[in-house]
Amino acid sequence: MGYTGRKDHAVLLAHLKNAPRGATGDDGAARAHATRAMLAVLTSLVEQIKALDAQISEQLTLHTDAQVFTSLPRSGTIRAARLLAEIGDCRARFPDPSSLACLAGVAPSTRQSGKHKAVSFRWAVNKQLRDAVCDFAADSRRANPWAAKLCDDAIARGKDHPHATLVGRLIPSRSPLLPAAGEWGRGKGEVG
């Protein structure tokens, strides 16, 4: 793996050589202890992250719904595990597609009284689920032509956040845990 920046190697090396030197003497010795302690903490933290990643991967492969979530576009181990953790495997929890969309906060909140009707952003939601679903939807457009076209059309219509439009279209018609949804990839918009 090499340097992939746009500057010449000689310019980068000269910049590094001209950088201010670290502390020296007693001050440098005192700071060295703190630096070594921080390095030991970071090394331990990296090892723990690797162990947790391995455990997440193992638990995901053992789960009965692992195939559903790992088959989603651009869904690696971490994304699949995150979606599984947030959506869950209890199919009765979401009796229809709109219930998942509402809990994820991708369906607008409509309030009507008499002739007055107000449509607003849904604030009372599971924010972790919203983040997981929006992350999945944002990457789906990179892996699927249907999703990419949906986003491009939203941008052409002047939408500020086309990924929100994509989430709203993916969830109601393509949720893998809804009884009526069937398999991903069926229907008019193929996601998988």
The mean per-residue pLDDT over the stretch 94-123 comes to 83
Pick from 129, 142, 134: nearest CA to 168:
134
The rounded distance, in Å, linking the Cα atoms of 184 and 33 is: 55
Provide the pLDDT confidence category of residue 68 given band limits of 50, 70 and 90. confident
Q: What DSSP letter does each residue of 133-169 carry, written as one string?
A: HHHHHHHHHHH-HHHHHHHHHHHHTT-S-HHHHHHHH
Non-local (6+) Cβ contacts of 152 within 8 A are 162
Across 33-47, 85-99, 143-157, the highest mean pLDDT is recorded for 33-47
Total-model pTM: 0.63
| Residue range 16-48, pLDDT digits in tens | 888 888 888 888 888 899 999 999 999 999 999
Provide the pLDDT confidence category of residue 191 given band limits of 50, 70 and 90. very low
Chain-wide mean pLDDT for the chain?
79
């979401």: which residue's tokens?
Answer: 94
The rounded distance, in Å, linking the Cα atoms of 31 and 23 is: 8
Query: Greater confidence, 163 or 117?
Result: 117
| Residue range 167-181, pLDDT digits in tens | 666 665 444 444 333
